[in-house]
Amino acid sequence: MAHTLTFREAVAEAIKEEMKRDPTVFVMGEDLGKFGGSFGTTRGLLAEFGEERIRDTPISETAIVGFALGAAMGGMRPIAEIMRCDWMTICMDELVNQIAKMRYMSGGRPEIHLVVRTNTEGGIGLGPQHSQSFEAWFCHVPGLKVVMPTNAYDAKGLLKSAIRGRNPVIYMEPNSLLSMSASIPDEDYTVPIGKAEVKKEGKDVTIVAWGTMLAKSLNAAKTLASEGIDAEVIDLRTLHPMDTETIVNSVKKTGRLVVAHEANRTGGLGAEVAATVQELAFDSLDAPIKRVATPDAMIPANRRLEKYVLPQEDKVIEAVKSIV
Amino acid sequence: MAHTLTFREAVAEAIKEEMKRDPTVFVMGEDLGKFGGSFGTTRGLLAEFGEERIRDTPISETAIVGFALGAAMGGMRPIAEIMRCDWMTICMDELVNQIAKMRYMSGGRPEIHLVVRTNTEGGIGLGPQHSQSFEAWFCHVPGLKVVMPTNAYDAKGLLKSAIRGRNPVIYMEPNSLLSMSASIPDEDYTVPIGKAEVKKEGKDVTIVAWGTMLAKSLNAAKTLASEGIDAEVIDLRTLHPMDTETIVNSVKKTGRLVVAHEANRTGGLGAEVAATVQELAFDSLDAPIKRVATPDAMIPANRRLEKYVLPQEDKVIEAVKSIV
Amino acid sequence: MTITKEKNKTTLSKDQLAEMYHQMVRIRNFEAALPDLFLKGLVVGTGHVSLGEEAVAVGAISALGPKDFVISTHRAHGHALARGSDIKIILAEVFCKATGCTGGKGGSMHIHDFDRYFFGTVGIVGGGITIAGGLGLAAKLQKSGQVCIGFFGDGASNRGTFHEALNLASLWKVPTVYVCTNNQYAMTLPLCNNCANPDIATRAASYNMPGYSVDGTDLWAVYETVKKAVDHARKGDGPSLVVANTYRLSPEHSLRTSSDPTTKYRPPGEVEQWWAEHDPVKITRKKLIDMGILTEKTATKIEADAKKEFEEAFQFAINSPEPEFGVAFEGMYAPEEGGK
Amino acid sequence: MTITKEKNKTTLSKDQLAEMYHQMVRIRNFEAALPDLFLKGLVVGTGHVSLGEEAVAVGAISALGPKDFVISTHRAHGHALARGSDIKIILAEVFCKATGCTGGKGGSMHIHDFDRYFFGTVGIVGGGITIAGGLGLAAKLQKSGQVCIGFFGDGASNRGTFHEALNLASLWKVPTVYVCTNNQYAMTLPLCNNCANPDIATRAASYNMPGYSVDGTDLWAVYETVKKAVDHARKGDGPSLVVANTYRLSPEHSLRTSSDPTTKYRPPGEVEQWWAEHDPVKITRKKLIDMGILTEKTATKIEADAKKEFEEAFQFAINSPEPEFGVAFEGMYAPEEGGK
Ligand SMILES: Cc1ncc(C[n+]2csc(CCOP(=O)(O)OP(=O)(O)O)c2C)c(N)n1
Ligand SMILES: Cc1ncc(C[n+]2csc(CCOP(=O)(O)OP(=O)(O)O)c2C)c(N)n1
Ligand SMILES: [Mg+2]
Ligand SMILES: [Mg+2]
């Protein structure tokens, strides 16, 4: 049997089930108790679990993440929330120098089982300081795992894997996908970290996307299909470690690759995908790999400008056509 | 006429000359007054300019960089020092959300003329939290410029350009290069931001490198020459904006590219170079672009292990041979 | 450490006081209108209104000279208006129109007015606290005699930037006055779950600077205290911390959150009671009439004029064009040509 | 806010005191030997010795039970030794040998001993302050009765993490005792250029927690104060801040900087005077003999034993193998198999 949930409800349900399953799981972050989270992803949890396990914090991002690390070392499985990815900038030391390295620095001893959840990407008119997505940074940091689900099913399944896992996971929730629904099995399931998913098979070109760009890429694929171009679309889902195999296999079949993400182009994770694929599938490539991304620009608040700056479906179509 | 300076002396000389030239230039950071900087790059400045303009700060990295921004907005040209690149993690909000975006967020009005200097890369046995290089992060942030000189001449010239410029510059000083000397003209000169330099011409393969890997690449090129492989070696110098033209022209000539940097491989700026070049010079490439970098691992303190983990000359040679 | 509770004093002239009331009313009109305009889709993204904080904005900013610096927060409209910024330009920015102060690229969280040394708003809570110290440093190094006010909220006072900035500002004796608008909530978190010691002014002791706790609904108290701190700074005696205690009369934290009906986190009746007993506009009006500075008639005239000004601003903003696509990529870097 | 200066008391038994002196001597020997070993090239990278801080390490850690947590700083050797860690393993780590606690991958800045709940050292100044709060939170949530000591320095107290962590620890009443070893220098910066208010314990008031300022050369004062704070935490009454004031007797900030002759930033004679008048090992020795707890003979025996122990540790460390290359890439991630 199954039920229907939005992305944000799927997040809450994953947390709820894991908290019931494991008393060491708890949640901490800003405005996530009574308010249910600035983006509504923790609604209902306070009523169910109380203030001891659903912990509202002051505006202290370094303490949120640093306490989560200490709590994990002390045997708990914290789920820390940083309200917006833009503010992950504040706790980068905790993430990069402490959390990612604590196990290694300690001779491989402690398990840093914690999740840092954050709302990412733009698209709702919040302007330059509230619309960014820094997945490329986190993937550059050995010791972390990074996931970004694109639908409620994966949101729940990946979050469960992250919570149950034995390593620190950055779990990124794309802003504009939170209200999208999907069918969720009633029974317990997980989605493995490290596996991409082929969302649509195709033979002419591979499109690898994550976050908001996945849906735009699938739409683009529809349009392209009507013009006789058969695109294969891959949802990367786990950004680090990357499922290179699935991508390379696809490119070996199609001979062409477009990578689409919402983060800024230069230094974005699209570069990593392109660099890896051209190395591993050089002889299969019939055309240059194209990247679709936000140009190297800030994201304006004005909705028309925002839409103009962020990559849309047409940019994916354009990129595909330029190489097919 | 010319004189000889080490990299660290060249940094100090650039600051000294610019401070004499422009009363709005000043320096702030940890232990840079009497002590002359933890890596000796500000020696002699306190004696010359006094405490008003050579300002020692407490261990407050967010305040160092935030104050520098305010001071720039108020008309000064601060040179802020973050002792180690690893601690740039602490002031990422100030760098990314405030400094990089202040002009844009303010409708293009203020000039954020400031420099943030930092000691980067590893190689001296300081272990996982004191050996990292995050240039890829900064290049992912529109609004910043990023330079990493590899020799005393460029160190002086690029720092002068950064200080005189009208935009925020992250100026990165590779740890293991600070004692290397070069001949410095006695007269004033600058090195332009945004220009790579071909250090050695060659026709068989292009090696693009920055930081410590430049010297290792030049050494590798010597060894390769003795085996009949003629490598062109490019010092990227400015990492953002990248001098794509120089790289692409070289690759069009050689048909092969190796990118070498010390930062971790995944998400490193090498990926950006590779992704850009395969797009712009696809038809010229006779082989996959290879990256030489620290594998996705922490950098151990033990010197043998450190040397083993960090990429050495032999890795560059190997990479070249794998594609020539 | 000095923690004083200021009493009303009147070094202010009648004209000044009438003008200050005028400013408060301008802010009130502006802020009161926004929730509705947001629901109508005119305000883009989000916005934070400052109902209940009018006396803090006007009292503090009136203590500054025309070339003094101001750094504000995500809740900035009142500060800009108190600084004398053109209400049309501010409203147009809140609507993200081409005529706004950033040309519509920033919106409500990025208000600035460089001509008035209003050096902008920072959407990252606590992000401005260090910048305000740096502006003070610039003034000090250039011996310009300028002073900087750095506004922030009770919630922001728990950011590490607060600690680092106030310590450094004090060590360097920069002329920065830190004004904390304690509206008793950080988003949905009440002060007591926010600050382990809710008497935020106490913290000044950690930094060896004067700390003042004042009634933020009392225009006189705010003005006189900030004035004292500004004079102190201008003399070269360094920064101060002024905590102005008031209440967030706005229905919700932000315009965006107010559209969400599930957000009940304030005790029932609390908002209504503060409106009834501690509305700074009402309090100021009554006091000014009692003092004979305003009459019912002059007060009503001020209010009517302000209404009219807002109505004009509204017409201006709504009729302003959307920004051209091309501007989206402008203003990221200053052109290097023509630099120093 | 409670700022008390503790007086000597003696709830400690003779045996305990003799053992505490023993620990202080172990630390002294270890630290005193390192500068020379660094110059000989045996210490890798850098290292920070804690001469002058022995009474803080031993006094504070003696107030803990065996399962209580400790988080340390870059200056960690003394804390590890006081916790009872095997001196061989610690020295081997400082030499970056395979037998060290991280197998040579961390070095001096990454000492830990998980079997003794010594949860490691953080090379980022102030990085451990939040972690210590989280360990306290883990203890509280699991009702384990454990307490955490989080050590940090006077310099670290100016990091934003100090502010955020102490505020949150107090709000949540976590059982963490924050012990600030004020050795009056942060690298080359003297306390007065470091903390705007050099009385660091004052800061506890900002967080509504007890704040104590104690003589950090006085073993009794440190022990009794930290014990009081530990008991307070264990009872569920929340965190405290204990500032132990002493002096960095070490010639330089770090072993690396000490090889640089240009580093003159302390007033002439200052180090010598502190050695003469405030050496905690000498002070403790004299007091214990005066109190009849030690005799010249038993003290000398302790010192000789410690010397022998260090000599053995040195032989162990120097004869230990270098790590295999293969381990360089081990221990980054925990294997997911066999997880929950
Ligand atoms: C660093 C950071 N964390 C969280 C937020 C989200 N946020 C925006 S306003 C706000 C509350 C700020 O509270 P306070 O400082 O008291 O200002 P007020 O909103 O009451 O004016 C929060 C948590 C943010 N913008 N920046
Ligand atoms: C965030 C950060 N900034 C700077 C440094 C460089 N550094 C290492 S130790 C130190 C001084 C620390 O002073 P204090 O906290 O008083 O500890 P002490 O060294 O005196 O024991 C500095 C500045 C660092 N490791 N981390
Ligand atoms: Mg507030
Ligand atoms: Mg110190």
What is residue B205's three-state secondary structure?
Answer: strand
- For residue D35 the two structure tokens come to 């500068």
**Residue C243 near residue C213 (C-beta atoms within 8 A):** yes
| Higher pLDDT among residues B232 and D3, named by residue | B232
CA dist list (Å): C217 to B164, C53, C137, C198, C220: 47, 7, 31, 18, 9
**Statement: residue C261 has pLDDT above 70:** no
What is residue D198's three-state secondary structure?
Answer: coil
Output DSSP code: residue A97.
I
- Residue with CA nearest ligand 1 atom 23: C187
Judged by CB atoms closer than 8 Å, whether chains meet at D206 and C207 is answered as no
The span from the first CA to the last CA of chain A, in angstroms, equals 42
Using an 8 Å CB-CB cutoff, list residues of chain A that contact chain C. Answer: 30-31, 33-36, 38, 40, 43, 56, 58-62, 86-87, 90, 124-130, 295-298, 300-305, 308-309
B103-118: average pLDDT = 94
Q: Give D95's contacts (C-beta < 8 A, 6+ positions apart).
A: D37, D42, D43, D44, D104, D317, D318, D320
The complex's ipTM works out to 0.97
B293-319: average pLDDT = 97
The C-alpha atoms of residue C96 and residue C276 are separated, in whole angstroms, by 34
C257 close contact with D: CB closer than 8 A: no
Judged by CB atoms closer than 8 Å, whether chains meet at A30 and C328 is answered as no
* Number of neighbouring beta carbons within 10 Å of residue D292: 8
Output DSSP code: residue C78.
H
Q: Across all residues in chain B, what is the average pLDDT? A: 97
Judged by CB atoms closer than 8 Å, whether chains meet at A106 and D172 is answered as no
C208 close contact with D: CB closer than 8 A: yes
The C-alpha atoms of residue D308 and residue C82 are separated, in whole angstroms, by 74
Predicted TM-score (pTM) of the model is 0.97
Q: Encode pLDDT of C279-336 as tens digits.
A: 999 999 999 999 999 999 999 999 999 999 999 999 999 999 999 999 999 999 999 8
**Statement: residue B310 has pLDDT above 90:** yes
Please give, one letter per residue, the 3-state secondary structure of B34-81: CCCCCCCCCCCHHHHHCCCCEEECCCCHHHHHHHHHHHHHCCCEEEEE
Q: Encode pLDDT of A122-154 as tens digits.
A: 998 999 999 999 999 999 999 999 999 999 999
The C-alpha atoms of residue D73 and residue D131 are separated, in whole angstroms, by 11
* Structure confidence at residue C257 (pLDDT): 76
**Statement: residue A119 has pLDDT above 60:** yes
Write out chain D's pLDDT in tens, 340 residues. 344 444 555 689 999 999 999 999 999 999 999 999 999 999 988 999 999 999 999 999 999 999 999 999 999 999 999 999 999 999 999 999 999 999 999 999 999 999 999 998 889 999 999 999 999 999 999 999 999 999 999 999 999 999 999 999 999 999 999 999 999 999 999 999 999 999 999 999 999 999 999 999 999 999 999 999 999 999 999 999 999 999 999 988 998 875 454 557 899 999 999 999 999 999 999 999 999 999 999 999 999 999 999 999 999 999 999 999 999 999 999 998 765 5
* Structure confidence at residue D44 (pLDDT): 85
For chain D, what is the radius of gyration of the CA atoms?
A: 19
B67, B109, B142: residue with CB nearest C134: B67
d(CA A91, ligand 1 centre) in Å? 16
Please list every residue in chain C whose beta carbon sits closer than 8 Å to the beta carbon of residue D172. none
What's the gap between Cα D53 and its chain centre? 8
**Residue A291 near residue A270 (C-beta atoms within 8 A):** yes
Amino acid at D7: K
* Structure confidence at residue D1 (pLDDT): 36
The catalytic position among B3, B113, B130, B240 is B130
Lowest mean pLDDT among A100-109, B10-19, C288-297, C316-325: A100-109
Judged by CB atoms closer than 8 Å, whether chains meet at D165 and A66 is answered as yes
Please list every residue in chain B whose beta carbon sits closer than 8 Å to the beta carbon of residue D108. 301
Q: Across all residues in chain A, what is the average pLDDT? A: 97
A241 cis-preceded (ω within 30 degrees of 0):
yes
**Residue D168 near residue A57 (C-beta atoms within 8 A):** yes
What's the gap between Cα B35 and its chain centre? 23
Q: Encode pLDDT of C142-165 as tens digits.
A: 999 999 999 999 999 999 999 999
D119, D127, D141: residue with CB nearest A26: D141
The C-alpha atoms of residue B313 and residue D124 are separated, in whole angstroms, by 31
- Residue with CA nearest ligand 1 atom 6: C125
D195, D260, D323: residue with CB nearest B302: D323
Please list every residue in chain D whose beta carbon sits closer than 8 Å to the beta carbon of residue B90. 124, 159-160
* Structure confidence at residue D3 (pLDDT): 44
Q: What number does the ligand 1 atom closest to the CA of C53 have?
A: 21
Judged by CB atoms closer than 8 Å, whether chains meet at D205 and C205 is answered as yes
One DSSP character per residue, D223-284 reads HHHHHHHHHHHHTT---EEEEEE----SSSSSHHHHT-TT---S-TTHHHHHHHHH-HHHHH
A65-79: average pLDDT = 98
* CB half-sphere exposure, C26, CA atoms < 13 A: 26
